[in-house]
């Protein structure tokens, strides 16, 4: 299904507070069977959302580039590592992480990743729904509620299931 980013932004704005509070509860309490619930909800999410119709993460966020990402991608583009870094990357002041200089990501072409096979590991793992334990990534999911329609839908589904089945 195509993702309507304008509608997503409006929905994320409306739901962010409630879903953030829900995710914060995982800091104190993890419901039994959480990982099964996440896997089920995640499978449903990908029936409804097609990343190739969205690419909002590539337009509004930056992945972190590890040294091996840099080497692999520079090689793929037949560039030297220093030239690749100079053209595309910068070091983030607050975190010291190596990130993309500009947004949208310069490798996004016609809404698709032009370096898909060699993309940074961070991109390949995004939106991190499979990470375990799920509750260790609360902060990531809280931050991504306003960036990723798939994460917003996942957390909504979890909130519905968990609040109907548990005193949470
Ligand atoms: S490298 Fe590819 S997947 Fe990663 S942000 Fe850029 S366009 Fe998106
Ligand atoms: S991971 Fe999320 S933000 Fe990125 S393209 Fe897929 S649905 Fe959109």
pLDDT, tens digit (0-9, with 9 covering 90-100), for 29-86: 888 889 999 999 999 999 999 999 999 999 999 999 999 999 999 999 999 999 999 9
Residue owning the nearest CA to atom 8 of ligand 1: 58
Please compute the mean of the pLDDT values over residues 141-157 and round it to a whole number. 97
For residue 120 and ligand 2, the question of a CB distance below 6 A is answered with: no
119-154 in b/e form (b: 16+ CB < 10 A) is: bbebbeebbebeeeebbebbeebbebbbbbbbbbbb
Q: Which atom of ligand 1 is nearest to the CA of 55?
A: 8
Ligand nearest to the CA of 109: 1
Calculate the average pLDDT of the chain.
94
For ligand 2, say whether the CB of 57 is within 6 Å of any of its atoms: yes
- pTM score: 0.92
Domain-by-domain residue ranges, the chain?
5-58+127-165, 64-118
pLDDT in the model for residue 26: 85
129 C-alpha to ligand 1 centroid (Å): 18
Cα-to-centroid distance, 149 and ligand 2 (Å)? 6
Q: What pLDDT shows up at residue 46?
A: 97
| Distances 83 to 75, 78, 86, 119 between C-alpha atoms, Å | 11, 10, 5, 18
pLDDT bin (cut points 50, 70, 90) of residue 1 is low
**Mean pLDDT across 18-31:** 90
For residues 129 and 45, the answer to whether their CB atoms sit within 8 Å is yes
């Amino acid at each position: 299904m195509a993702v309507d980013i304008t509608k997503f932004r409006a929905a994320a704005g409306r739901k962010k507070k409630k879903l953030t509070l829900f995710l914060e509860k995982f800091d104190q309490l993890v419901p039994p069977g959480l990982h099964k619930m996440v896997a089920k909800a995640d499978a449903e999410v990908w029936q409804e959302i097609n990343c190739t119709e969205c690419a909002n993460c590539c337009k509004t966020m930056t992945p972190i580039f590890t040294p091996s990402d840099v080497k692999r991608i520079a090689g793929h583009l037949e560039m030297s590592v220093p030239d690749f870094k100079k053209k595309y990357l910068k070091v983030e002041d607050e975190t010291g992480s190596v990130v993309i200089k500009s947004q949208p990501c310069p490798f996004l072409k016609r809404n698709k990743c032009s370096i898909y096979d060699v993309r940074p590991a961070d991109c390949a793992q995004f939106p991190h729904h499979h990470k375990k334990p799920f509750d260790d990534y609360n902060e990531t999911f809280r931050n991504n509620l306003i960036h990723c329609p798939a994460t917003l839908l996942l957390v909504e589904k979890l909130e519905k299931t968990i609040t109907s089945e548990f005193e949470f």
